[in-house]
Amino acid sequence: MTNNYELYKVFYWAAKTGSLTQAAKALYLTQPSVSHAIKQLEDSFGLTLFYRTSKGVSLTQEGAVLYSYIEQSQILISVAEEKMAALKNLGSGELRIGGSDSLFKHYLLPYLEDYHQRYPGIKLHLNHGTTPETIAFLKEGRIDVGVVRMPVVDDQLEVMRGIQLQDCFVAGERYAELQGMILSFEQLLQYPIILFSRNSRVRMAITELFQSYGHEIKPEIEVGSVDLLIEFARKGLGISYVTREFVARELEAGSLFEIKLNVKMPPSQVGFMTMRNMPLSSAASKFIELVK
């Protein structure tokens, strides 16, 4: 039995056109090459697949059975080729991104809107999670790109730097007496503090910073979203630690103000993670190009 796909392709076109000459034209072959290929296929099966007519060739009963299967395979191959072309041209496919709610909403949203307008055929799948969860999603193959706060040190990952963010403490009208003042860590800790959940990168960073100055920061309230950090500070429930860029509108409107400290708060870096030595899909590659 033959394993040569080219012979089946010659057979398909000869049967489809009913002409060895037309099959040769469709495949950019000579007619003797087409005749030889069919002879090879017939010899491999030990069956006659065509008989000659005055108008060309027609399938024998055995040839018709073979054609019924080969036609299906050719249709599937054509569909597959069209699908690959669509993926290459970003006419279809999917982009799977992992990251935190805050990064999606306050940083990535404009990029996602732009991407969707450029490539409306690409389906967007967003997986929400902390940095450790996002890294796990990436290694499990559940996402193509992870967006997290750096640093991330992992030999399996390739990390591209994104924008730099600045975290700060903010408060609402209830603590208006602090506006314009410069506080020490000791003075700040006299007030109720609102922090993000323990396993977040932002929470770990501020905890380590306070510890480096010999202080322990104990929040009175812990929340799981940036929106709650902002809203609780606005309502006067305490002083929240947030990313300045994420509360720009509230700071400008005056519903929140920044608490100034006598210690410079270090900036944080956003990183885009992919699996090292793993090829990116066309959809993921275009997204990385967009956010660079």
| In the chain, where the domains are located | 5-88, 93-292
Confidence band, pLDDT 50/70/90 cuts, at residue 86: low
Q: In this predicted model, what pLDDT tens digit does every residue of 210-227 receive, in sequence order?
A: 999 999 999 999 998 899
CATH assignment of 5-88, among 1.10.600.10, 1.10.1040.10, 1.10.10.10, 3.30.310.40: 1.10.10.10
Gap between the Cα atoms of 184 and 205, Å rounded: 18
Q: In this predicted model, what pLDDT tens digit does every residue of 112-166 receive, in sequence order?
A: 999 999 999 899 999 998 888 999 999 988 899 999 999 888 999 999 999 999 9
Q: In this predicted model, what pLDDT tens digit does every residue of 190-201 receive, in sequence order?
A: 999 999 987 788
- Against a cut of 0.85, is the pTM above it? no
Evaluated on CA atoms 14, 17, 22, 26, the torsion sign reads negative
Residues 88, 277 contacting (CB under 8 angstroms):
no
Architecture of the domain spanning 93-292: 3-Layer(aba) Sandwich (3.40)
Asked if domains 5-88 and 93-292 share a fold, the reply is no
Q: Is the pLDDT of residue 7 over 90?
A: yes
Gap between the Cα atoms of 17 and 174, Å rounded: 84
Q: Is the pLDDT of residue 254 over 90?
A: yes
Which percentage of the chain shows pLDDT scores above 90? 74
Among 41-50, 51-60, 95-104, 275-284, name the one with the lowest average pLDDT: 275-284
Q: What is the pLDDT of residue 120?
A: 92
Q: What is the pLDDT of residue 185?
A: 96
Mean pLDDT for all residues in the chain: 91
Burial class (CB in 10 A: 0-12, 13-18, 19+), 113: exposed
250: which residues sit within 8 A by CB, 6+ positions away?
Answer: 170, 230, 234, 256
Q: What is the pLDDT of residue 277?
A: 84
Q: What is the pLDDT of residue 178?
A: 97
Q: Is the pLDDT of residue 24 over 60?
A: yes
User: Encoding tokens for residue 71?
Assistant: 């036609």
Residue 155, classed as helix, strand or coil, is coil
Confidence band, pLDDT 50/70/90 cuts, at residue 2: low
In the numeric block, the tokens 């209830």 are attached to: 174
Q: Is the pLDDT of residue 75 over 90?
A: no
